[in-house]
Structure 1
Amino acid sequence: MNPNLDRLHPYPFEKLAELKAGAEPPADRKHIPLSIGEPRHAPPAIVLDTLRETLPEIARYPATKGEPALRQAMAGWLSRRFNLADGLLDPETNVLPVAGTREALFAIAQAVVDRDTGDQPPVVLMPNPFYQIYEGAALLAGAEPYYYPTLPENGFLPDFEAVPESIWQRAQLLYVCSPGNPSGAVIDAERYRHLLAKARRHDVVVAADECYSEIYFDEDAPPTGLLEVAATRDGDDPFENVIVFHSLSKRSNLPGLRSGLVAGDAALLKRFLRYRTYQGCALPLPTQLASITAWNDEAHVRANRAFYREKFDAVLEILEPVAGIDVHRPDAGFYLWAGVEGDERDFARQLFAEQNITVLPGRFLSREADGVNPGAGFVRMALVAELDDCVEAAKRIRAMLS
């Protein structure tokens, strides 16, 4: 067996199951799970219609590179959404379909990381707290994870200047998540420019997980994307060592479709396609054709944002005045990263035992680094359930704290 398998940490939801073990929630209260970021809104009907109509295409082998029409739809959406000049993003070379961002975020480390670096292993940088796939991808690629903190005193934004020079010199890949999971903090263009300049000096690939980018609260102020910042750089290839990840799971409420995209550096994607061809992750043709419909439609995405806006308004009205929990509207995304008093694991267990609500303790999403665990004292609440359930959960939290 690959010895690096033994370096993998238990997944957050394994730890959560252990934490809840033995607790007996009240049987007369419906369970409301706020722990998993699985969208619960209805999938768009136009996508489901396309999926039904194209099911006979399941009889054909799909190409790993995807249908040209799919790559054109993806490149078109990226160009419109991130204000890219016509023709800057080539559907033939700058875009690939993937089976959801989780699969691709893991796979990119296996393709990018060069293990043959001498006495010290290569480094993969990642935010802390973080999506655990980043860490697992680094470990199984034979790399050493380096956790850069995203702390409340910095607005939960990364401080790339605080990463030691010795780490940058060994770094090969850097994961960044904006809007952030779990905080919802959005990295601004200036911070991205500083990151890209530093990454270019050290020849580091920047992998931007932007799967929450389409859930935001001001229709006139969508989150900044890495591609639009990279497009303003000097050089022959503005996307050099830049790759971004987007998904239909959150944007279009299609988590089970397992459809997303990667875009950016053409040379990197050419090698990544070779890796993926051997890995065998081609999207079934009905999935590809349904994805074309989804990427080409914005009406359902705007409606989706309105649903989340309504839920955040209602939940924050209930919880913001409550002592014992510190909640604020995030920049984007569907998580509340809530500060609680004492050990957040005790809060989560009590909430489950007394109110039959499940939330995720922050330290299950983070690692201690330099003596600090940035997830301690926080719980993550995913407002993915229907409005009535989210409101009911907020009322029960308020009752427990009162």
Structure 2
Amino acid sequence: MSTAIRVKLSLMMFLEFFIWGAWFVTLGPFLGNTLHATGAQTGAVFSTQSWGAIIAPFIIGLIADRYFNAERILGILHILGAVLMYQMYKATDVSVFYPYVLGYMVLYMPTLALVNSVSFNQIGDPEKEFSSIRVWGTIGWIVAGLAISYLFHWDSPDGVKSGFLKNTFMMAGIASLILGLFSFSLPATPPKTPTGEKVSISQLLGLDALKLLKDKNFAVFFIASILICIPLAFYYQNASNFLTDIKVNNPTGKMTIGQGSEVLFMLCLPIFFKKFGFKKTILVGMLAWALRYAMFAYGNAGELSFMLIIGIALHGVCYDFFFVSGQIYTDSKAGPQYKSAAQGLITLATYGVGMLIGFYVAGLISDSYNSAAGHDWKMIWLIPAGIAAAVFLLFAVFFKDKSQIQTSSVQS
């Protein structure tokens, strides 16, 4: 790969995740303080991510893989996304905001697969080269959070009170427009599937891989994957709102610690995997969810602020040790015929069904523990901690797979 192409792909990844990090992290405080949304309304807005994940396979499978170059569709989707971001910036009511964010997520979620497609089309050895390009996406997310907190101070108490968080949508929209235009200069990535070849709905959604559920251990893993997404949704929906509400300084900037730890623990994962195996690795990931929420429940912005920082820093363990490990396990269980379908099925189960349920539950719990005195954050965090602990026990008791799994696919 030439240096010029590597720089282009790295910039593409940087902008792709800068856009997401520029508005999604602060969405909770924006909805609650600027649009005065209820917990249920906030959950409905966050669930648009899940609807986007469910619809994305159709866009990729029916359009991107069959008719048009991936880089061109990427450009068009981001230009349209910039228009919707501007409408979100102007919205003054959650009922007006919702259709725009739903439309945006339906457009954005497919781009996550498209940037990978464009990258892999240029990479000779994905195992060795992809991580050095993908890491720029994490850096982009971190830069967006640092800019919000330390450059613009939009998430400061005065900034939140003054409604400055709406500026995050303008920033994301500008970045989306830039990436949209830039995409047309990316290396050509033609469609892979011949236009005359029929693709079934079950293939698009990865439903062909349902045959794997005949394996009891895989079925336990599959169910656990859906259930663990319920506490995961609490983090996405409530963490920023929680830190803002208890007046933690520069909350968005501090949440970038989670992305930093994600990079660190990704490097540690192959070592842990090799030494302790799949079951223990994934159990550590589940236990980390329960521990981080307990930290949030009992920490505060004062003398116990270190507990909040530890909770945020555990994001790398939570995400890498469960989700990345799960992708490796799924790949090992699926034969060559079902590898892509199996990954699609797990994505649909987690970011689709699991997160959809999770955002709904998180919204109900947030409303149930909200009063004139404010949110009872201790209970709001203890409930997902209990759910994560229950999933941990479920998996520990019923998952019996002793087979060895290759870990080369997570080497960076």
Normalising by structure 2, what TM-score? 0.29
Structure with the higher fraction of residues in strand conformation: 1
Normalising by structure 1, what TM-score? 0.30
